[in-house]
Each structure stands twice: as C-alpha cells, then as structure tokens.
C-alpha cells in the first residue's frame, strides 16, 4: 500500500486535523465556526460573509443553517499541501447526501494549491439543515495525476454505446 504525506497548517484554532482511518479510502474534513461575526479574529485568504444565519447553541458551539435550495462556502481552517503528482477530489458524505440532501459543488484540489480548503455545500432538500462547528461535511479521496496527451483525429473508433448519450450504458 502506497503512503502519501500531506503537510498541513491550522489557520484557525478550532480547525480539526484530518484523519484517514485504516480501511477507509478517504478522509473527512470538518467545518469551523462561522468566520464572520462569530469569529472576527480569523484571517482567511477568502472573503467571508456576516450574513449567514448562525447561532450559539446551549453548549457554546456555533450552529449554521443551510436553507432549502441554498448553497454556501464553509471554511475548514486548514491549508493542506498535496504531494506533487497527486490531487484530492471531494465527494459527498453519504449520510449528508442520501439522508439530508446535502451535496457538494466543485471539489478538485490540485497539488499546486496552498490556500485554505473550502467546501461549497448545496441543500437539495425542502427543509433547513443545521451544521455544527466541527461536523464532518465532506470526504476527500487522493488521486494520482496522469500525463494526458490529446491527439486530434478525423474520427473516433466505434463502441457499443456510440453516440447514444445519457443512460445508454444501461442500468
């Protein structure tokens, strides 16, 4: 089994260190406190909004609300350096996606990126969803970079699907 070493920097005191458990393909990232009004000392390279609905719950933990049909960028408070020759792809956490209708927008981090890792979530459900600071919100899978050479041709080879489009591979 190949080992990858990713260096990271916590740029927020409440950032959660990622951990890859043995037997799991990926690792999860967690959200930090709302970085607008809730945390004015936070120094991100990305602009933050003071208009997100959030409140402090009875445990002193910040809670954010993602409205139906709303998308929002969440901060992780982490900068992570990926080894050259690799990248990371974001995937929905299955429980958030299947049970609660939260899905990600975007989600490819290249080995040359050194800014804060941000996660854009979209609420496809018909109800508000509450996210608490330190909740795991996305899973990340490392992938190897490949050299791809594109060659222009006059036509392509024939396959069983041909040009049939969406759903043509069957169920």
What are the domain boundaries of the chain?
Answer: 27-144
Integer Cα distance of 171 and 77 in angstroms: 41
Q: What is the pLDDT of residues 91-136, one digit of tens each?
A: 998 888 888 889 998 889 999 999 999 999 999 999 999 888 889 9
pLDDT exceeding 70 applies to what percent of the chain?
83
Q: What is the pLDDT of residues 17-52, one digit of tens each?
A: 998 888 889 999 999 865 554 444 555 544 554 445
CATH H superfamily, domain 27-144: Deoxyuridine triphosphatase (dUTPase) (2.70.40.10)
Q: Give the pairing type, strands 108-110 and 86-91.
A: antiparallel
């Amino acid at each position: 089994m190949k080992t990858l070493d990713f260096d990271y920097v916590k740029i927020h005191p409440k950032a959660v260190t990622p951990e890859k458990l043995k037997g799991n393909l990926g690792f999860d990232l967690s959200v930090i406190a709302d970085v607008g009004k809730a945390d004015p000392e936070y120094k991100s390279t990305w602009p933050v909004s003071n208009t997100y609905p959030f409140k402090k719950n009875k445990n002193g933990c910040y809670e954010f609300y993602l409205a139906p049909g709303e998308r929002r960028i969440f901060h992780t408070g982490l900068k992570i350096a990926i080894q050259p020759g690799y990248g990371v792809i974001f995937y929905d956490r299955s429980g958030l996606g299947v049970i609660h209708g939260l899905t990600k927008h975007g989600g490819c981090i290249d080995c040359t990126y050194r800014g804060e890792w941000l996660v854009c979530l979209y609420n496809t459900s018909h109800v508000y969803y509450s996210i608490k600071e330190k909740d795991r919100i996305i899973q990340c899978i490392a992938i190897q970079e490949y050299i791809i050479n594109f060659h222009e041709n006059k036509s392509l080879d024939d396959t069983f699907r041909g040009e049939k489009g969406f759903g043509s591979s069957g169920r």
